[in-house]
Structure 1
Amino acid sequence: MSPAIAAFDCDGTLIKGDATRCCLLLLQGPLGLIRLLPRLLPHLVAWQFKRCSTGRMKEILLDVVLQATPREHRQRVLEEQLPIKLRSRLRPDALKRLQWHRQQGDRCMIITASPEPFIRPLAELLKIELIGTCCQDPLEVSPGQPFRLLSANCKGPEKLKRLELALGELPCPEKLEAYGDSSGDRELLQASGRPHYRSFSAEPRAYRQSRSWLQRLLPWLALALLGLGIQTWFGLPSTTKSQLIEACRRLLVWLPVIYALLILSYFGRYSRWRVLLRSVRVGHWNWADAVGWFQGFALTATPGKIGELSRVEQLHVELGYPRLPLTHAFIAERLCDGAAVLVWLSVITPAMVAQLLPQAGPTWWWVLILTGFILISLSLRRQRRVRSGWHTLKKAWDKHRPRGAMARACLPALFLSLLFWAMEAMILWLLVMVLSPTSITPLQGIGIYLLSGTAGLISNSPGGIGINEAATTLLLQDAGIDVLVALPIAILRRVLTIWTITAAAGLSQLIQGPFTQR
């Protein structure tokens, strides 16, 4: 009887992260890859719009990077540095499961979209068969001999074809146990009688689509907004266009300062993240951790912070961090955010908050008292439901609230939160200073920023879109700024902060797409 087949995907399954990405970073480093981005950008755009296949994009990407790297450094990376890096990224749970299959007498193999030369040292270390994307020797790449793939990109249906070619026939589902983590493993997992999608437990776990409807909708929404903006521009009077052009010139001078504040702010956010996780000894400061953390911001423009919660699963898959500490850190971040906002509002903007509330005359007091009685009556009528909801909330809080070392780490995390919230608010103040004839104080800028952000959060709309801008416009009007100036400032502030970060995080995923979308 032929042995059962245990087929493991490599990137994101056997190892944390992506082998090709590791190789590219070792070859050129982050700054080197950014330097090469202009040469890659047209191909990336074509790939994104399905004008270029993933295999061809991978071929172009690797050729550009390998051509830009001296042969001696390539050899050092491929023969020394990359094998060490990949060994350090092996998942303990995956190794345990691999050992279990060996004890059962199963035939174990890696089936990966990564180029075989990148994975071969790891396969030899694990004494496991390798099926990958065939390519020419990366050390032989030169100006006269570009890098070429010698087989189709080993992802999706191609994994089954290569498995059938290696075995002579495709094993029956009962004889195939497959492990994978992405859409590139879908066909392999679906052909298996015991699929393990992002899991190494004994129980099977079927593949499921992980991309949300919102992620599919966002690019089309961005294109629609761009088209609307262009149409509006051509419909403006010439005098208004001249004023806008002059304002844009002034803005361009200040853009480096604005983006410097934004970078400092998000460095503060990352520092807070590391302070919280370091308290429970999860992960450490490194490029992979920072990139994984930052890319999660591509998911934040979702209602009710669902996207941010999905970052927990993403970081668990990409970096191998335990889910529970990640969830605790997420809750601690939200608590620190809320506390920081309350501190700023209570300390520096009490007058602004008071102006937003109605004058508490006798009529208002009677309205408040009557409202209170109505709410109490409704609560008494629904006492059982309220009590059940309270117990559910309390149970969830008891399970996920920060404890011990992480609870103690919340104090420095709160200090960092106070700093970066103020930095981001300064961007609004700078925009008013540059674009408006009427000025506001920095403290007013912080107050308007925090109050409008709170309104957007309460609205539960994706990224607070619409509500945040409207609240900012109204508060700026209240500070004496004309609505025709306040509205562009409100929109610009959002474009230059959260939407810039969301776009940058999405672009980071796009750049990695040719080798992470296996």
Structure 2
Amino acid sequence: MVQQETNSPTTSHATVGVERLWGRIVLGIVFGIVIVAGLMVLSDLRRVLPALRHFDWSLFPLVLLLTAGNYACRFVKWELYLRWVGAPRLRRSQSLAVFLSGFAMSITPGKVGEWIKAFLVARLGGGPVAPVVPVVAVERLTDGIAMLILALVAGFGGLGGWQPLVVLAGMVLAGLWLVQEERVARPFLRLAARAPLLRSRAEALNGLYDATRAILRWRRLVATSGLSIFSWSLECLGLFVILIGVGAEPSVELLAVATFVLSVSSIAGALSLLPGGLGAAEAGITGLLLLLRPGMTPAEAATATVLIRFGTLWFGVLSGCAALLWLQRKVLRFLPLQPRQGAVVAQLLDSSER
């Protein structure tokens, strides 16, 4: 029976769709290698390599441990979101694998791969895809809110540069209010449902809104944003540790700089819509370190940038690739496919190529 379903057009469509993600991931990795190589050349390779050799490598496992702590907190948030939208209950190992796979898919062009997490939850749990879609979006939203708050705290602490962040925070709050205010949102949904492309999907559109509103209730938003603030502060601590390893003296000011630099650079990377924020985040970290740490050399700034990206982004990509490979080889190919689920992956990937 499983063999027959595996050979069906729908199942083949899904298998090909998931396998096509690997090409996108490889493309993102190549892009990342180019970015790192360019950064090292611009910062004078002859000085960056000695800086890497002189780094206190005994501190790097601590950076990875802090990143793993960030992932653990975000997995708790992921589980809460799935419960709140009524998603199918998954085995903990499968849910963790789907969550981790998102780190690999975050470097896919257009970040289309991250939306495949909704498909994976539906495929593993045997339910519809639509209710899980808001989870992926709200995950990113609360991460962004956390980074914004961390940047504001560091900025208000004397580093400056907080004015644009306050404007951005106001825009975020206005958007959240619009989502929560049904009297405002429902008329917009009815108007959108009249559009030719959305007319047949009005019910799904309302379902997406209901699920989004359910997980963005103010109490839930405050709780998950607080968890996100704690989890992302761990990665800011990771940059703090790296700066110490590069040769900086530990201080409260250094911690504030690390928090501001990583938070603002992460926001810039997210707003750039580039896969994994590649290029934008690296430029932001290096530039802000040189601006806020006048005594730091370009080689030291580039070294810190390369190390924090390897200790966060690329550590996540490696973990995500292992999780996605496990799902593909050990779980997905043995599951029956429900109608229309198979086309979801290919539709998302096809739309990203246009």
Q: How far, CA to CA, are the matches of 2:116 and 2:329 in structure 1?
A: 22
Q: Does 2:22 align with 1:215?
A: yes
- How far did 1:302 drift? 2.9
1:413 aligned partner? 224
Deviation string for 1:136-157 (max 9, x for gaps)?
Answer: xxxxxxxxxxxxxxxxxxxxxx
Work out which of the residue numbers 260, 263, 277 in structure 1 matches 2:65. Answer: 260
Which letter maps to 1:268? C
Q: Give the 3 Å change call, closer, same or farther, for CA 347–397 of structure 1 in structure 2.
A: farther
Deviation string for 1:150-201 (max 9, x for gaps)?
Answer: xxxxxxxxxxxxxxxxxxxxxxxxxxxx53xxxxx3xx225xxxxx449xxx
Q: Does 2:215 align with 1:400?
A: no
Q: Give the 3 Å change call, closer, same or farther, for CA 336–356 of structure 1 in structure 2.
A: closer
- How far did 1:256 drift? 2.4
1:295 aligned partner? 101
- 1:114-125 alignment to 2 at 5 Å? none
1:38 aligned partner? none
Q: Does 2:286 align with 1:477?
A: no
Q: Does 2:44 align with 1:189?
A: no
1:501 aligned partner? 316
* Structure whose alpha-carbon radius of gyration is higher: 1
Moved more, 459-468 or 327-336: 327-336
Q: How far, CA to CA, are the matches of 2:270 and 2:27 in structure 1?
A: 23
1:246 aligned partner? 54
Which letter maps to 1:501? G
1:151 aligned partner? none
- Decide whether the 8 Å contact of 1:429 with 1:442 is kept in 2: yes
Q: Give the 3 Å change call, closer, same or farther, for CA 509–214 of structure 1 in structure 2.
A: closer
- How far did 1:494 drift? 0.9
- Decide whether the 8 Å contact of 1:274 with 1:285 is kept in 2: no
Deviation string for 1:199-220 (max 9, x for gaps)?
Answer: xxxxxxx668314766315436
Which letter maps to 1:403? R
- Decide whether the 8 Å contact of 1:448 with 1:472 is kept in 2: yes
2:346 aligned partner? none
TM (normalized to structure 2)? 0.68
2:277 aligned partner? 464
Q: How far, CA to CA, are the matches of 1:512 and 1:273 in structure 2?
A: 18
Q: Give the 3 Å change call, closer, same or farther, for CA 403–319 of structure 1 in structure 2.
A: same
Q: Give the 3 Å change call, closer, same or farther, for CA 478–508 of structure 1 in structure 2.
A: same
Q: How far, CA to CA, are the matches of 2:28 and 2:140 in structure 1?
A: 28
Which letter maps to 1:432? L
Q: Give the 3 Å change call, closer, same or farther, for CA 389–276 of structure 1 in structure 2.
A: closer
- How far did 1:512 drift? 5.7
- How far did 1:276 drift? 2.0
Q: Give the 3 Å change call, closer, same or farther, for CA 444–208 of structure 1 in structure 2.
A: same
RMSD: 3.7
Q: Does 2:241 align with 1:435?
A: no
2:176 aligned partner? none
1:55 aligned partner? none
2:337 aligned partner? none
Which letter maps to 1:287? S
Match of 1:354, SS?
Answer: coil
Which letter maps to 2:225? L
Q: How far, CA to CA, are the matches of 1:333 and 1:254 in structure 2?
A: 30
Deviation string for 1:341-373 (max 9, x for gaps)?
Answer: 33223333135453897xxxxxxxxxxxxxxxx
Moved more, 287-296 or 451-460: 287-296
Q: Give the 3 Å change call, closer, same or farther, for CA 222–300 of structure 1 in structure 2.
A: closer
Q: How far, CA to CA, are the matches of 1:467 and 1:492 in structure 2?
A: 16
1:492 aligned partner? 307
Q: How far, CA to CA, are the matches of 2:81 and 2:15 in structure 1?
A: 31
Q: How far, CA to CA, are the matches of 1:464 and 1:424 in structure 2?
A: 16
- % identity of equivalent residues: 20
Q: Give the 3 Å change call, closer, same or farther, for CA 482–221 of structure 1 in structure 2.
A: same
Q: Which structure has greater strand proportion? A: 1
- Decide whether the 8 Å contact of 1:340 with 1:414 is kept in 2: yes
Deviation string for 1:59-97 (max 9, x for gaps)?
Answer: xxxxxxxxxxxxxxxxxxxxxxxxxxxxxxxxxxxxxxx
Q: Mind listing any 5+ residue stretches in structure 1 that lack a counterpart?
A: 1-7, 10-110, 112-177, 180-184, 191-195, 199-205, 358-387
Q: Which structure has greater helix proportion? A: 2
Q: Give the 3 Å change call, closer, same or farther, for CA 515–399 of structure 1 in structure 2.
A: closer
Q: Does 2:227 align with 1:422?
A: no
2:130 aligned partner? 324
Q: How far, CA to CA, are the matches of 2:53 and 2:61 in structure 1?
A: 18
- 1:199-210 alignment to 2 at 5 Å? 209-210=16-17
Match of 1:331, SS?
Answer: helix
Q: How far, CA to CA, are the matches of 1:457 and 1:236 in structure 2?
A: 28
Q: Which has the higher contact order (CA 8 A, sep 6+)?
A: 2
Match of 1:497, SS?
Answer: helix
- How far did 1:340 drift? 2.0
- 1:31-430 alignment to 2 at 5 Å? 111=3, 179=5, 185=6, 188-190=7-9, 196-197=10-11, 209-211=16-18, 215-219=22-26, 222=29, 242-247=50-55, 250-251=56-57, 253-282=58-87, 283=89, 286-350=92-156, 351-354=158-161, 392=192, 399-400=208-209, 402-404=212-214, 407=217, 408-430=219-241
Moved more, 215-224 or 312-321: 215-224
Q: Give the 3 Å change call, closer, same or farther, for CA 431–389 of structure 1 in structure 2.
A: farther
Q: How far, CA to CA, are the matches of 2:93 and 2:239 in structure 1?
A: 30
